[in-house]
Structure 1
Amino acid sequence: MQELQGKPSLEKGKTHGDVTARLILRLLQVCETPDASEALVLSGQEAAAMMDVGVTDCPIFTDGQQQFSWAAGSRPIVEMFRRMENLNRNVSVQVPSRKYHLRSFEKHKLLEVQQRFLESGNADTDDPWNILDLRNPLPPTVMPKFLAGENCQLLSRIRDAVLSGSSGERTVAAKEKWNEWLDVMDWVLLSEGGHNTSPHMDSHGLSTWITIQEGEFGFGWLSKPTKEERDAWVANPQEFTGGRWRFTVLTPGKTVFFNSGTIHFVFRLRHGQTLALGGHLLQWSGIERWITVVRDQMRSPQITNEDVEWSAPKYVRVVSDLVTNRVKSGRVDEIGGQQVVDRFLALVQEFEKDIKEIKKEAKKEVKPSTKKRKR
């Protein structure tokens, strides 16, 4: 808060960084640490048991759940770049000094990103970069162990259905299609100190895990919002500060898992770069909550960190088919029972009606995407 209050352009600045900083400061001024009902601090075994049977209405925090280990004595950011190949590829970089009426990100070569991070070390900067959608060069063992249960594998089954269709054989898909799904399942969060991310929901109704590798990572969220609070945030996400905002600071080795539709933000101190590994998943037992969140994101696309208008329908139709197959196989109890299935399928029908209305509106006026992507 002291660092944000000391920004010369905080009140009048019209860049992405200034607009975000003003909102983050207002949120931190009303933020509190969570009580035991608002954040679950669990052992890996306790977290795994909870994830296998249902969904939570608050974040889960664990420690020591990553199987992958960095080389002894190495700095994770340095080792990560060493494991990358072809640094001539382009990546999207959020730059706070970009004017607010423009996209928040611009393209840079990975080589340029590497030089900036490794040559500057942890030096302060007034224009801290945040690297978006950075592909994970590490082994699959980065996923926290407590998320390996069958109930957490719905997103993997969606991927298999999209890539394999009706074939039960080993999938041979185009490289681009595999990479698209790999980047959804896990990714890298790399940022310079002082970069903040305003409140948002992760796209496509996906649940998210983040494990810190280097630096300190401020994580905030809107705790158990009422329907009225949620609607008020959806209507004005850049101004809403009502409800119960909570925060914690994560250090290396700590993991946070938050469910579909969690409204969250990220803040960082100026000194010190941060590196985190993250990924998405869906739970079979969470399909009713998931379809509700996806409908909200389709009707109010400004609340998510990525465009969903053209890809979300594919997700919904695949999940609907997967649920129908489970019902035919007599596995209804694994997804919450027949009442949950009935409500889910009814919401799918409502979603299809939403799509028709959105398509009608799209024909009236077609505009290029200006989505301000966030991580």
Structure 2
Amino acid sequence: MPVTRSKTVTPAVSHSSRKRKAESISSDEIVVKHLKRRRVGEPTIASDQQWLKKAMEEFRSLKYPKLTDRYYKVELAKRYLPLFKRPTGDDAYFFDDPDKARRFLAESNVFDVPMFVRDGANYSVVDPESTTRPIEQMFDILLANPDETLEYDDEALPTADQFVKNRMGDVAKRFKQNESWVKFPLNFPDIPTHTLDHAVPSFIRTPACTVLHDLFRAQLDVNEEHVCDCLEPNIPNCGHEITRNEFFKLTTAWVYWQGTTMISEPGTITPPHWDKYGMPTHISCLEGEIGFAWLVRPTHGEHIRWACDEKNPTGPWAFKVLRAGDSLCMPSGTVHFVFRRPAGKQTLGFAGHVIRKQDLAAWSKTLDLELSIDAVDLNGENEAERHSEKSPHQLIVPPLMRQVRKLIKAVRSQGLESKFGGKKRLTEALKLVSKIEKKMVELDFRA
């Protein structure tokens, strides 16, 4: 619903204008507060608080055997949900128009809190007006191979990350035939669908948001003779651009980072985390309701404390419900908690990663922090990876940093610093790249 302005309010040139007067509309819409630091929209959504209250009541009523992973996640939800508060005016950006969100990302605005966009979801591959649910459409159109296998975390087992596989046809049948609560719900947070267009919201489609795509294109578009098979790779001194293992790992990562499909049953929980490799993330909801909470402006110390012990949350948390049609984009290092009401409905979402040109330094800073917290066991790397010859970070971070260094050099030589947030941000990014590269050399990842 568009904002209705009073006659005394001067129309703004863009959403990013911090000169706008305060606006107010009904309690179910957005109230815009004029702050010294930035102009943002503050939600006064009573329904979100009611939704959260019901979710807490529903999770409190659940009982599970103590040795199951489901017990751990439900207990985590019971501990976290009471901490979630409605966001204040400085905790997030809110847009009722995807075009305004797009202009905001295109400009050199500070992007350090999540942004929520009403009607920002991309419905290019599903029809919300169809009598067939979007989830069923996804299974019928994009996930149509019944013999394809899906891997998921079996929460009935005693520990986390106990993955099992099931046929796509069997999973689709379960989602189509049973839409209500199940004791051990299925959660597929990142099914790669190999089609970028359907996952990316329109407001992300701006030249300012192409950095990640540019880095991968430059690094993966190489000839065979530039792939290194040296016993002791020394890129670029050995005359090569990327090792074979780096190429393989980057190719796999790129399949997921471009865009994935999120399909979940009621009551599923994704414990608090920030996305690996410090990636900024966009999420869209196309069916159902998704609870999304984030740690508000954590300090360096809070980031580290949280990473070391997720069972004892610290710092203020804000909360928002994503409903069908809603999208969000969160900056690097956003610690977030995702869940669905046990008495709710199945949910369908799209997600992917994006890096703005203006945010190279912010991304590099988060990546450096991630490497500092734990050089090996980061955000879910398992014991097998810990004892492998190379960790995923060793294979992904170095080639990305090589390309960032090349990109900054090219930007400077062409005088394009303003498109990347200015000389100061680029200088900071380059210093962080050097710091990360040094850290990758110094750290011994082997057990």
TM-score (norm 2): 0.73
The offset of 1:186, in angstroms, is 0.8
SS in 2 for 1:278: strand
The offset of 1:14, in angstroms, is 3.1
Residue in structure 1 matching 2:135, options 60, 74, 77: 77
Is the CA contact 1:203–1:308 (under 8 Å) kept in the aligned structure 2? no
* 1:227 maps onto 2:328 in alignment: no
**Structure 2 match to 1:170:** none
* 1:95 maps onto 2:154 in alignment: yes
Aligned length: 351
SS in 2 for 1:247: strand
The offset of 1:141, in angstroms, is 4.4
The offset of 1:112, in angstroms, is 2.0
Q: Deviations over 1:183-208 (max 9, x none)?
A: 31111001111110111011122111
The offset of 1:305, in angstroms, is 5.7
User: Which aligned runs of 4 or more in structure 1 are off by greater than 4 angstroms?
Assistant: 174-180
**Structure 1 match to 2:428:** 343
Q: Where in structure 2 are there 5+ consecutive unaligned residues?
A: 1-55, 225-246, 382-391
* 1:252 maps onto 2:252 in alignment: no
Residue in structure 1 matching 2:100, options 46, 50, 53: 46
TM-score (norm 1): 0.86
SS in 2 for 1:124: coil
Is the CA contact 1:92–1:106 (under 8 Å) kept in the aligned structure 2? yes
More displaced 10-residue stretch of structure 1: 147-156 or 335-344 = 335-344
* 1:202 maps onto 2:202 in alignment: no
RMSD: 2.4
Is the CA contact 2:199–2:352 (under 8 Å) kept in the aligned structure 1? no
* 1:62 maps onto 2:117 in alignment: yes
% of aligned pairs identical?
25
Is the CA contact 1:201–1:305 (under 8 Å) kept in the aligned structure 2? no
Residue in structure 2 matching 1:264, options 298, 315, 336: 336
Is the CA contact 1:221–1:247 (under 8 Å) kept in the aligned structure 2? yes
Q: Deviations over 1:55-83 (max 9, x none)?
A: 41111111223251623222111111111
Q: Where in structure 1 are there 5+ consecutive unaligned residues?
A: 168-173, 366-375
Matches within 5 A, 1:359-370: 360=444, 362-363=445-446, 365=447
Is the CA contact 1:234–1:303 (under 8 Å) kept in the aligned structure 2? no
Is the CA contact 2:105–2:208 (under 8 Å) kept in the aligned structure 1? yes
More displaced 10-residue stretch of structure 1: 108-117 or 74-83 = 108-117
Letter in 2 for 1:68: S
More displaced 10-residue stretch of structure 1: 18-27 or 206-215 = 18-27
Is the CA contact 1:220–1:264 (under 8 Å) kept in the aligned structure 2? yes
The offset of 1:234, in angstroms, is 2.4
The offset of 1:309, in angstroms, is 4.2
Quick check: which has more Rg, 1 or 2?
2
CA distance in 2, matches of 1:56, 1:47: 11
Q: Deviations over 1:175-234 (max 9, x none)?
A: 998675243111100111111011101112211111111111000100111222222212
Letter in 2 for 1:29: P
Q: Deviations over 1:218-277 (max 9, x none)?
A: 0010011122222221232x2232211111111100001111110001111123211101
CA distance in 2, matches of 1:69, 1:254: 16
Specify whether residues 154 and 355 from structure 1 end up closer, same or farther in structure 2 by C-alpha distance, changes over 3 A only.
same
Q: Deviations over 1:23-50 (max 9, x none)?
A: 2221111110101211211121221121
